[in-house]
Amino acid sequence: MRVGLHVSISGSLSAAIDNAVERECSAFQIFTRSPRMWTAKEISKVDAQEFKDKLSASKIDRFATVAHMPYLPNLASPNSASHSKSVSVLIKEVQRCGEIGIPYLVAHLGSHMGQGEDKGISQLVKAFEKAAEVENDVMILLENTAGQKNSVGSEFSQWAEIFSQLNPKKRFGVCLDTCHAFAYGYDLRTESTVTQTFKKFDDEIGWENLKILHLNDSKGELGSNLDRHEHIGLGKIGEKGMSAGIKLANKTNIPIILETPIDGTRDDVGNIKKVIEIA
């Protein structure tokens, strides 16, 4: 099993690896920069090499490491200025991942801002294909959404429609978030419903395109469209559903990343131990 957390880069990029090892991770996710700003300091060659050297020295497989796009960009935006600014950040993040040797970049699909799903999808495809012109081997992973108003890519068939339009194929994959899927309306509470939901995913998108599983329980009810993550087994999905999802991911060695809350209920290490316990 390859399982880990979203870890902090506070202090330096390579500090993320220390944080991952300290938390007994065999996978991890980072922001390469502040997720709440449009601009970012360039990664120096020294910092990039330090990150790669420290990762090589750890027991963490490089293909179990992933970066996540910052919060501000909206790649589905119909506004030309906002869209252009968002695409610039995406391109830069693909470049930054290449500099430090992270193979995957997870991207939210964003909002069409009331201008319709077709417009949002068109903007997304333009954004992703522009970013794929960056000459490195970083794969962009499209993450499903929870069904909030004006969002795209919540329903597996629409997610598949977006994904199918992207070229070159080798530059794109998907990241499935269990909380988002459940919040949209895909039942994940029992072994049977997890099997059914993952079969729908396989039929629509293809299991071979799944590169990262965001394993998160849900504070919201089934179909609530509420993107609120809960500790593993303590939410509305529950321990049985979480266990079934872990087992399916492990069958094909899909890295599992937890984005669980930071609060007094359970710490990061506790959530990883819970995943291992119920796997």
Q: What mean pLDDT do residues 27-40 have? A: 97
The number of beta carbons lying within 10 Å of the beta carbon of residue 139 is 20
Angle at alpha carbon of residue 129, lines to 127 and 132, rounded to 5° = 110
Q: Using CA atoms, how far apart are residues 131 and 149, in angstroms rounded to an integer?
A: 26
Read off the tokens for 198.
């993952």
Q: What mean pLDDT do residues 181-188 have? A: 98
pLDDT cut 90: percent of the chain above it: 100
Question: Using one digit for the tens of pLDDT, what is the confidence trace for 208-232?
Answer: 999 999 999 999 999 999 999 999 9
Mean of per-residue pLDDT scores for the chain: 97
Read off the tokens for 274.
């819970």
- Asked if 229 contacts 259 with a C-beta cutoff of 8 angstroms, the reply is yes
Q: Is 211 helix (H, G, I), strand (E, B) or coil?
A: strand
Q: Pairing state of beta strands 27-30 and 3-6?
A: parallel
Read off the tokens for 138.
């970083």
Q: Is 184 helix (H, G, I), strand (E, B) or coil?
A: helix
Picking from 112, 275, 146, the residue whose alpha carbon sits closest to that of residue 223 is 146
**Residues forming the active site:** 36, 68, 71, 108, 143, 177, 180, 214, 227, 229, 259
pLDDT at 193: 98
Angle at alpha carbon of residue 52, lines to 177 and 273, rounded to 5° = 45
Which helix (H) or strand (E) segment holds residue 204: the answer is helix 191-204
Please, how many CA atoms are within 13 Å of residue 252, restricted to the half-sphere of its CB? Answer: 14
Q: Give the max Cα distance, the chain.
A: 50
Picking from 152, 121, 125, the residue whose alpha carbon sits closest to that of residue 140 is 125
Q: Phi and psi for 15 in degrees, rounded to 5?
A: -60, -25
pLDDT at 143: 98
Q: Using CA atoms, how far apart are residues 15 and 243, in angstroms rounded to an integer?
A: 31
Q: What mean pLDDT do residues 178-206 have? A: 98
Instruction: Give 266's pLDDT tier (boundaries 50, 70, 90).
Output: very high
Instruction: Give 65's pLDDT tier (boundaries 50, 70, 90).
Output: very high
Q: Using CA atoms, how far apart are residues 46 and 132, in angstroms rounded to an integer?
A: 26
CA distances from 32 to 27, 71, 88, 176, 235 (A): 16, 12, 15, 21, 29
Q: How many residues does the chain have?
A: 279
Q: Is the peptide bond before 168 cis (omega within 30 degrees of 0)?
A: yes
- DSSP at 111: B
Picking from 160, 174, 274, the residue whose alpha carbon sits closest to that of residue 217 is 274
